[in-house]
């Protein structure tokens, strides 16, 4: 694997299953070989996990007391592609702004590190570094959409109508 696993993707979800169940456990749960399952966690591989295997692993994670991974990955990818926030849960505006600042800092750190003379590409941004930066920026965009949705509530519309 040459590229990092983007956050909140099926690749990261499969990797979490290997951490939770080990190679033999993942193989047993999916009915597929451990070597094939390892390829599912590699963004560079042409082998992609099937829905049935993802369902089996997700159910096993939940039953074992772990956080679900595949549902979150699916939702996050749909949000990234559509630019829409699904199943929005409003948050306190101050908390959301703090989250945005943190994510912006993460993106800035990735950009700064990628431009460092000691980084793999020197001052030029490598494809791997670009993917990491883009992942941070996508996460930032989704969170900005959530912040906008926090204010675009029926309660706020009622206040606007009353004024």
Residue range 102-128, pLDDT digits in tens = 999 999 999 999 999 999 889 999 988
Q: Residues 14, 53: contact at Cβ < 8 Å? A: no
Indicate whether 1 pLDDT > 60.
Answer: no
Residue 37: per-residue pLDDT: 95
Residue 50: per-residue pLDDT: 94
Higher per-residue confidence, 29 vs 76: 29
Q: Is the pTM of this model over 0.75?
A: no
CA distance 153 to 94: 16
As given in the structure block, the two tokens for residue 127 are 């494809």
CA distance 28 to 24: 6
Residue 156: per-residue pLDDT: 61
* Domain layout of the chain by residue ranges: 10-78, 90-162
Instruction: Give the mean pLDDT of the chain.
Output: 87
Residue 160: per-residue pLDDT: 59
Q: Residues 149, 90: contact at Cβ < 8 Å? A: yes
Question: Residue 15's pLDDT band (boundaries 50, 70, 90)?
Answer: very high
Question: Residue 35's pLDDT band (boundaries 50, 70, 90)?
Answer: very high
Reported as a single tens digit per residue, the pLDDT across 125-162 is 998 888 889 888 888 988 888 888 887 766 665 565 66
């Amino acid at each position: 694997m040459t590229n990092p696993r983007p956050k909140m993707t099926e690749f990261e979800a499969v990797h979490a299953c290997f951490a939770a169940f080990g190679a033999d456990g993942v193989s047993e749960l999916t009915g597929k070989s451990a070597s094939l399952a390892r390829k599912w966690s590699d963004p560079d591989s042409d082998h992609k996990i099937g829905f049935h295997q993802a369902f089996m692993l997700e159910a096993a994670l939940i039953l074992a007391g772990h956080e679900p991974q595949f549902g979150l990955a699916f939702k996050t990818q749909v949000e990234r592609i559509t630019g829409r926030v699904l199943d929005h849960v409003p948050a306190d505006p101050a908390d959301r702004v703090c989250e945005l600042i943190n994510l912006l800092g993460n993106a800035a750190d990735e950009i700064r590190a990628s431009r460092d003379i000691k980084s793999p590409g020197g001052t030029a941004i490598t494809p791997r570094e670009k993917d990491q930066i883009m992942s941070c920026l996508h996460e930032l965009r989704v969170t900005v959409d959530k912040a906008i949705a926090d204010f675009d509530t029926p309660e706020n519309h009622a206040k606007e109508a009353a004024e």
